[in-house]
Structure 1
């Protein structure tokens, strides 16, 4: 036992340290630069799109029986074709109303219960939000992004 513990300790302390390549933040002279290639699985961002932050967070109550048992707070951004920021803000009251209805339905069907950040649950929520955004703004909407999500149990 003692030999095993000693061997493990020695191995931990003499393991080689990984090399770290440093780059000059100005990109000029001295130091090695590291080229970072995008992951092949990483989605490409359309250069003709922009992100529009929906003002104010969404607060969704989780109701069980006759009682609010938790609150979910969400922040959203819309990815739209460039030049449509003003169109989003002009229709924001309608977007907020419809988005809230989608989120209330999601909450009432148990979408915010348990592991509510599970990919399949958030994918279903995003899909429903995108459908609503497209019905209001048309084809200028590429996607709806959930930028923050928090659940506070009471």
Structure 2
């Protein structure tokens, strides 16, 4: 009987110790995010993160209600992935696969969707140039490298559509070496 209860007791003791350690080692809340009375703000998120809060690091604009933000942009997804060869010494040494989406003003969604082939061509040229200068070598997913690539996408899209393009989102990126 003891042999059958021992594993159960050990599991319960381990789970209890894990919960206790989690509670004991929980970090104190950041005082800068506390309201005047010192209570935690109820953001609706169990982690205490406000999804509508502006972030200086990302260059976010003014805070908008979720309904307002949804009304200000639509997303146009490229139907196919982009496949970019990485060439070294006249040999393909890797392939980079990317999936992109364009954030546009609602009135531009149909226009941008109709011009996907033109955008795809321009974006592919930007990716090939990026690959040729070594942008997909080493730590190619670093913020600096991705920001350079994203800036090229946004500049091309803004030149193609002077108004209504908000951003180009890199949804997936993968490199397969050979």
Q: Flag whether TM exceeds 0.5 (same fold).
A: yes
Aligned pairs, number: 130
* Structural mapping, 1:39-78, within 5 Å: 39-41=53-55, 43=60, 46=69, 47-78=71-102
CA RMSD, aligned part only?
2.4
Residue by residue, what CA displacement relative to the aligned partner does 1:6-37 show, whole Å, maximum 9, x if unpaired? xxxxxx94744539xxxxxxxxxxxxx97232
* Structural mapping, 1:39-118, within 5 Å: 39-41=53-55, 43=60, 46=69, 47-118=71-142
Q: CA, structure 1 residues 17+128, in 2 after alignment: closer, same or farther (shift >3 Å)?
A: closer
Q: CA, structure 1 residues 17+34, in 2 after alignment: closer, same or farther (shift >3 Å)?
A: farther
Matched, 1:35 2:59: no
Residue by residue, what CA displacement relative to the aligned partner does 1:54-107 show, whole Å, maximum 9, x if unpaired? 110000000001100000000100010013221112111111111000000000
Gaps of 5+ in 2: 1-15, 25-41
For residue 18 of structure 1, the aligned residue among 8, 11, 23 is 23
Residue by residue, what CA displacement relative to the aligned partner does 1:104-137 show, whole Å, maximum 9, x if unpaired? 0000011100110000000010000100111112
Moved over 3 A (4+): 12-19, 42-47
What is the match of residue 130 of structure 1? 154
More helix as a share of residues: 2
Task: For 2:128 and 2:43, locate their aligned partners in 1 and report how far apart those are by CA, in whole Å.
Answer: 47
Matched, 1:142 2:161: no
Task: For 1:139 and 1:62, locate their aligned partners in 2 and report how far apart those are by CA, in whole Å.
Answer: 33
More strand as a share of residues: 1
Structure of greater relative contact order (alpha carbons < 8 Å, 6+ residues apart): 1
Gaps of 5+ in 1: 1-11, 20-32
Task: For 1:87 and 1:40, locate their aligned partners in 2 and report how far apart those are by CA, in whole Å.
Answer: 30
